[in-house]
Amino acid sequence: MAFWVHGRDQSGDETESIFSEASTEEEARAAGVARGMVVESVERVENRAPAADPPRGPLPSAGPATLGRPAEAQYEFTKEQDQVIAGLGRSMRFVGMALTVVGGFGILVGLFGGAPRNVGGALVQGALNILIGIFTVGIGNSFQKVVDTRGNDLGHLMEALESLGTLYGLLKWLVLLAVVLLGAAFLFLGIGRLSG
């Protein structure tokens, strides 16, 4: 037998849900109280997959019941977890804005203040900083949504992680391109020295 125990934290501010493999509804309620929860309801879970074979597939989001849990009983992170996620979001937004500003200055220096040989490099570096900065601000905002909203923490977390995966996928290709260009430059210099 298994139950979802729904309620609020002791302050009454945050909604919580815990999963209990108790034998009875009373044991499940007691498990919630033992964790400091003010229990509002206990929901029996029928047709639960065995623990050794957890359900696979997308994480729950607002919509039909998923993982044996109804849509209205979405997981909410605790205040402490929200603080960690909010700190990450703030840091990412700060770094993203700083990269965007540095990229803008890099483009200005490339256009108006650099040596003619370095214009292309300054423009490319500035544009990359702006691109990465904009992505990073957006990802920081996605992490902040986890904290600011109720009822879809896992959906917002997955959105933020997908965006982070996109950014790092882009960075992976940029690094590979840089390695290829660097290799070509060394090859070109080496051939030039041998022939000259």
Higher pLDDT, 142 or 36: 142
For β-strands 38-45 and 2-8, DSSP reports them as antiparallel
SS3 69: strand
Structure-block tokens of residue 179: 């390695």
Q: Which residues contact 151 (CB under 8 A, 6 or more apart)?
A: 62, 72, 74, 76
Residue type, 164: L
Q: What is the pLDDT of residue 110?
A: 85
Nearest to 133 by CA among 91, 103, 178: 103
CA distance 35 to 52: 25
Structure-block tokens of residue 97: 């804005």
What number is the average pLDDT over the span 4-17? Answer: 76
**Cα 27 vs. chain centroid, distance in angstroms?**
35
Confidence of residue 196 (pLDDT cuts 50, 70, 90): low
